[in-house]
Chain A
Amino acid sequence: MQKVTTRHFNQPNSHRLETYLKDQGYEAARKALTQMTPVQVIEEMKKSHLRGLGGAGFPTGAKWGFIPKSNPKPKYLVINGDEGEPGTFKDKYIFEQDPHSLLEGIVITCYAIGSHKSYVYIRGEYVKSMQILQGAIDEAYKQGFLGKGIMGTSFDLDVVIHPGAGAYICGEETALLESLEGKKGFPRLKPPFPAVVGLFGCPTVINNVETMACVPPIIQNGSEWFAKLGSAKNGGTRIFCVSGHVKKPGIYELSAGTTLREIIYDHAGGIREGHQLKAVIPGGISAAVLTANEIDVKMDFDSLKSIGSMAGSGGIIVMDETTCMVWAAMVAARFFAHESCGQCSPCREGSGWVYRNVKRIYEGEGRPVDLENLPGIVNNIGGNTICAFGDAITMSVGSYVQKFKSEFEYHVKEKRCDLALSNISSPLMGEARWG
């Protein structure tokens, strides 16, 4: 499989400009700035079938096309590097291993949408990522790839890193804009959409880090080449992050049309020794959990949607037969309860209610009425909130209850969990696992 966004990862000093330049670095930006019009760049993106790799899978070219040309206000490109979706850790690798691919993507994108200012929002915990990216930004300014008159053209662009401060909700694009404006991260009501009223009230495109890293190779090698790497209407490759009960957790760049089974068994080494697959989250904690029988699904956005889950951020969390699914639901519910921003009542109250309910059931204190009430509580959050966080609670927690109902019933009836201890006290404790 041809690598696109991870092609430099194994080279020594892959984060340095001199390494990047050896592989036609910034040539795509030069091509866009000197041989293409902004409209041509956007058309190329549309034909590539590149879709937003932060989680929503929105067609990137279409998103850029929404920026109104007649609006006299400044335009902004905001990069979403808040990477907080549990199970996801790919953007960190791009920041640290190939920051110039991100920066070159930013140059091309800003040229296409007519922006002269880009903010890269990075989650506050990624201190190393911020240091490495800042080093790359400094190198790019020095070399004339950022700043005034880029590559001898009349195009100017400044790039600024903005640190987050530990709030999952800021990965939601309008909460991110609020955070970037110096406020708490409360998502905004849409419409208006950020393409019209975004950062500082100006037209704004918000793109994920990995999406940006796809842009230079598309300009360099053509949209057709990129589209063919993926599946229909979902061009290219994507970086899958695999973690949990697999032998080789890590990142794997594969075609968007790869099946989940191939990723788990052919790439991530399969389930840890002596165990079998029980369940897997295919696209970050917000995605509906899949049973072991559902892993022949292709990992593109449309295929996963068709079976009621989602490709999301590409975060694959694998669970073997030692996992109690009531416990797994409780861990997910705890996450949502902790990270609800508190703006909308159904989510603020509902997330805590769901967590307490599932926790009671898991701990053997659940009453039959708790189980009866659970689907109703879960289903009344999604669709009733400003942002998609509420929908995530419904999809995620709801899927455990629906697909592993017998385990919930067992906990309520028998008032105990037969798997709890085998799961928590891993027999491997005290030893290094994968070196």
Chain B
Amino acid sequence: MTQEILQQIDKITSNYEQKQAALLPVLHLVQEKEGLISPEAEKEIADYLGIPVVQVHEVVSFYHLFHQKLKGKCHLSVCQTTSCALLGAEDIIEHLKSRLGIKAGETTPDGKFSLSVVECLGACEIAPMMQCNKEYKGFLNKKNIDELIEKNS
């Protein structure tokens, strides 16, 4: 990890009475910089926070926002829970699969798109919806999905 990241980690850990409590925000920070949490990063973070590497690994694998593999440039997470499902989430997911030629959990060979199917994102008022990287996109239909794909291709 670079000096810059370590400084930012120090700033985060200063917010907590116990250093290891900073693990989630630190993982977010490292993933933001590197795009994933590698086994090497797990080791470095564990050493820095003074916790066993297995604890870092079980946290990384428990929370689905942490990735152990690189995601595409545009990571689409489509909600499949009740409100979105009632308004056609299954169609949205099928359309995305066929447009992108990948299954849920996969990344296109050109690295441009990843598709995930997720549970409720807390935006049922704009169902059917998905998260495109950090941004929420609602009232999805085939037309606005196609536009989004073209814009990011």
Hey, which bits of chain A sit against chain B, CB under 8 A? 74, 83-89, 91-92, 117, 123-128, 160, 162-168, 179-185, 200, 241-245, 249-251, 281, 285, 315, 317, 319, 323, 328, 331-332, 334-335, 338-339, 341, 423-426, 428-434
Contact = CB atoms under 8 A, between A and B. Distances in A.
Contact of A249 (B59, B64, B88, B127): B127
A94 to B, nearest CB: 12
B100 interface: no
Given A167-B64, A185-B62, A332-B82, A83 B87 contact: no
6 contacts: A84-B120, A87-B124, A124-B63, A126-B122, A241-B125, A244-B86
B interface residue count range (under 10 / 10 to 19 / 20 to 34 / 35 or more): 35 or more
B141 interface: yes
Contacts of B66: 165
B8 interface: no
Interface string B114-153: 0000111111111100010010100101111000000000
Contacts of B28: 124, 163, 165
A425 B123 CA distance: 21
B59 A92 contact: no
A89 B119 CA distance: 14
Contact of B62 (A184, A242, A423): A184
Contacts, number: 163
Contacts of B119: 84, 86, 168, 335, 338-339
Contact of A86 (B63, B91, B124): B124
Nearest to A281: B82
Interface of B: 15-18, 20-25, 27-28, 49, 51, 55, 58-59, 62-66, 80-83, 85-88, 90-91, 118-127, 131, 134, 136, 139, 141-144
Given A88-B122, A249-B127, 9 more contacts: A86-B124, A87-B124, A182-B59, A184-B63, A244-B127, A249-B126, A285-B81, A425-B91, A430-B143
B81 A335 contact: yes
A429 B141 contact: yes
B122 A125 contact: yes
A160 B15 CA distance: 7
Contacts of B51: 182
B131 A285 contact: no
Contacts of B18: 181-182, 200
A98 to B, nearest CB: 17
A425 to B, nearest CB: 6
B139 A432 contact: yes
Contacts of B64: 165-167
A84 B139 CA distance: 20
